[in-house]
Structure 1
Amino acid sequence: MSAVRAQNAGRRQPVYGLDLVRFAAASLVVLYHLGFKAWALDGSSLHGALGRSDAFPAGYALTWCGWVGVQVFFVVSGSVIAYSARGVSARRFARRRAARLLPAVLIAVAIALPTAVFVFGTATAQAVVLSLKTIAFVPWGPWIVGQFWTIPIELAFYAIVGVVLFSGAPERAMHALVWALGIASGAYWLVAASDAIEPGGRLAELLLLQHGVYFALGMLCARMGEGDLGRRHLGLAATCIVAASVQVRTAAEWEMGARTDLSAQWPWAYALWLCLAALIAASFLWRAQVAARIGRFGGVLRLAGLATYPLYLIHIHVGGTILLAAARLGVVPAVILAFAGTAAVAVAIALWFEPPLHAAIDAALRRIGQRVPRYRPAG
């Protein structure tokens, strides 16, 4: 088994199915914000700028629960980190993550700052402060990019994984981390289901109590791809899946607010999440077969995966601007144009703007790393 793991670690075969799920998750979030929240829910910047309300915008049955794409993202993140961090040093892991996160954030802020001021009417001083908070990765909001709220949660997960990789026995520690995340977060939500605690709060998010079940489930999906799951892991996966149903139900109430007519339909959102989580597991379980069959379409899927992160970060400011300009055409045409325009910009960022920034940041971090003494844990 160890020989197989070493071979897989060196080869790092692309998981093409994961790129498709990533893009689907980002699309869900985009369609939720542009196709439902902007029209139907008070309190959003887009709703205020749009200046009109429609409790049931055209296609709402397909868009109202798109927020569950975030829960899908967390499963994807857990699986990607578990798959890519194996056999990697803590230093290299930190450099990779920083070089992956920073470029898109810098580009998104460069887009969001002028858009917030000139399109959404945000005061210049406030927009600058929010931009600086975003660039500095301050974990408490607000931020210039509202959906940035998930990134510090990802960073909290990365920090724990970095500590695991820094330990003297990363394989054992990573195994323990899966259990710790799944049990702690699962217990949190199962206790919340009994009304013993009131779930919520930024601290619970940053401590991964709210979303740890998703990271743990993703890590289990990656282990499944290595043929490294036992019956006890299936029990942990079942616990995470049950706890996720409580989290999704609660998230539906948070997202919908007074719209109890829709929050009561949370099982549809949960079913959608469950299907995409199953696709993540299948992507790892049959990654070799998928890679052998997709042939020349592999590059397209990889590009879709790379465009997902910028798509997620820029869709309010790019897509929202298009939506406001096209709103007179009606909900469906405006949303289609906004989605297409945002996707085109995201692809351009992934193709032409992110790579040079990524290379520059990675090179700078390498130089910094060469000046820091290496620590080798005993044993």
Structure 2
Amino acid sequence: MTIQAARQQELSGVPAASADQQATADPLAAAPSEPAHPPRLLFLDGLRLLAALLVVAHHLVRGPWDVRPEEHFGMLATLSKYGWLGVNLFFLISGFVICMSSWGRGLGRFAVSRIVRLFPAYWLGVILTTGVLAMWPVLRGPLPPPESLVNLTMLQSGLGVTDQDWSYWSLGTELRFYLLFAIVVWLGVTYRRVVYFCALWTVVAAFSSSWHEGLLDNLIVADSAPYFVAGTALYLVHRFGPNLLLWGLVGANWVIALYRLEKYPGVVTLHLNWWPVAAVVTLFWAVMIAVALGAFRRVSGRWLVTAGALTYPLYLIHQAIGQTLIRGLHRHAPAWLLLVGVIALLLGVSWLIHRYVERPLGRRLKRGLDSSLAAARNA
């Protein structure tokens, strides 16, 4: 073996040995390679918007109306009880997408991509939500100024501070996933390391229930871990092809997710039967397996790009602002008209946030962070 070939194998996380020895000693090292940046799966953009709309329906259909939502919306109100599961679908997709987008990136580029993706729209979401709650406190008032300012960091859950919009709890969960996956990125993302990461997180999250270690439990987000792990493993299925080990990771986390549903806050507080909730989660798994196997590879359309662009801003502004509008206007407009109008307004504002905040501010933020990283490397 040449020195150059040995160096390439070292960078890929594979010991410098012959191909036959690698395949015999460690089957994980024999995974085929592909381009660092595979084509974008537009179907996932549409699926992300669907997940967001499920959450929007849950919070607004079951929002602060003057009567029980079933009296206004009938079957839609009954179905919207399960809309909170859209967050679980987000986590599945996130595992898939983060693994895909981090391949071939160093830790600095990974951190920059996450900051640029998350913060521009989030900052405006916090400001808009704070302003609406302050100017029209029919739902509730905004948090005190120190807590509102802390919300701008997205670290409020770690500091024990209430989220300005209740939906922001999931952002803290996402950040912890990024923090854990950053370890893999720091080492260098390879097939083998991602498999080890998935297996280790599965085991640690499963045993955390009996450890009663507050710090560890908070970091590994045991209830959400099965979704992130399964999504990550399914990206490996998509990129390298299926095998028994990957299906084992996907299946084990599906079983753990179903088990944890019985005590999930949404199931307990809404008094939901376990079976339909488990059926919805199983459907999510089935759809993501189909994505991993290439069933939706040819799905395309400009509208899917737009759908993906609307998803994050919509999630950021929908709950507190949407429920404020419903509480303030529900006596002055028919329920269906108000619901559709509020959702349409939120979608329109989401597009404006993407077009005039996310894109321009994201570009400037990326240039500044890239420059900062270059200065740090050259120091």
Worse-superposed segment, 221-230 or 327-336: 327-336
Contact preservation (8 Å) 2:91, 2:228: yes
State how far apart, in whole Å, the 2-side matches of 1:210 and 1:349 are: 31
Aligned to 2:205: 185
State how far apart, in whole Å, the 2-side matches of 1:24 and 1:258 are: 23
State how far apart, in whole Å, the 2-side matches of 1:374 and 1:248 are: 49
Deviation string 1:248-300 (CA, Å, 9 cap, x unpaired) is 2222xx2365543xx2x23222222222332223223216x633x53xx2x21
State how far apart, in whole Å, the 2-side matches of 1:130 and 1:111 are: 15
State how far apart, in whole Å, the 2-side matches of 1:227 and 1:272 are: 27
Worse-superposed segment, 202-211 or 16-25: 202-211
Deviation string 1:116-153 (CA, Å, 9 cap, x unpaired) is 112226556x3423321211122333021211111121
Equivalent AA in structure 2 for residue 77 of structure 1: S
Task: Point out where structure 1 has 5 or more consecutive residues left out of the alignment.
Answer: 39-46
SS at the partner of 2:127?
A: helix
User: In the alignment, which of 323, 327, 331 is matched to residue 326 of structure 2?
Assistant: 323
Contact preservation (8 Å) 2:234, 2:250: no
Does residue 237 (structure 1) correspond to residue 222 (structure 2)? The answer is: no
**Structure index of larger Rg:** 2
- After TM superposition, the score normalised by the length of structure 1 is 0.82
- CA RMSD, aligned part only? 2.7
State how far apart, in whole Å, the 2-side matches of 1:344 and 1:282 are: 31
Aligned to 2:93: 76
- After TM superposition, the score normalised by the length of structure 2 is 0.82
| Cα deviation, residue 70, structure 1 | 0.9
User: In the alignment, which of 32, 38, 61 is matched to residue 78 of structure 2?
Assistant: 61
Q: Residues 76 and 230 from structure 1, CA distance in 2 versus in 1: closer, same or farther, beyond 3 angstroms?
A: same
Percent sequence identity over aligned pairs: 23
User: In the alignment, which of 135, 145, 148 is matched to residue 168 of structure 2?
Assistant: 148
| Cα deviation, residue 110, structure 1 | 1.6
State how far apart, in whole Å, the 1-side matches of 2:378 and 2:277 are: 47
| Cα deviation, residue 361, structure 1 | 1.1
Does residue 227 (structure 1) correspond to residue 266 (structure 2)? The answer is: no
Contact preservation (8 Å) 1:74, 1:214: yes
Contact preservation (8 Å) 2:54, 2:83: yes
Q: Residues 356 and 268 from structure 1, CA distance in 2 versus in 1: closer, same or farther, beyond 3 angstroms?
A: same
Does residue 137 (structure 1) correspond to residue 154 (structure 2)? The answer is: yes
Deviation string 1:221-260 (CA, Å, 9 cap, x unpaired) is 1111113332122122111111111222222xx2365543
State how far apart, in whole Å, the 1-side matches of 2:258 and 2:270 are: 19
State how far apart, in whole Å, the 2-side matches of 1:207 and 1:26 are: 24
Deviation string 1:289-320 (CA, Å, 9 cap, x unpaired) is 633x53xx2x2101111211111110023322
State how far apart, in whole Å, the 2-side matches of 1:3 and 1:210 are: 30
Task: Point out where structure 2 has 5 or more consecutive residues left out of the alignment.
Answer: 1-28
Aligned length: 343
Equivalent AA in structure 2 for residue 373 of structure 1: R
Aligned to 1:43: none
Q: Residues 152 and 70 from structure 1, CA distance in 2 versus in 1: closer, same or farther, beyond 3 angstroms?
A: same
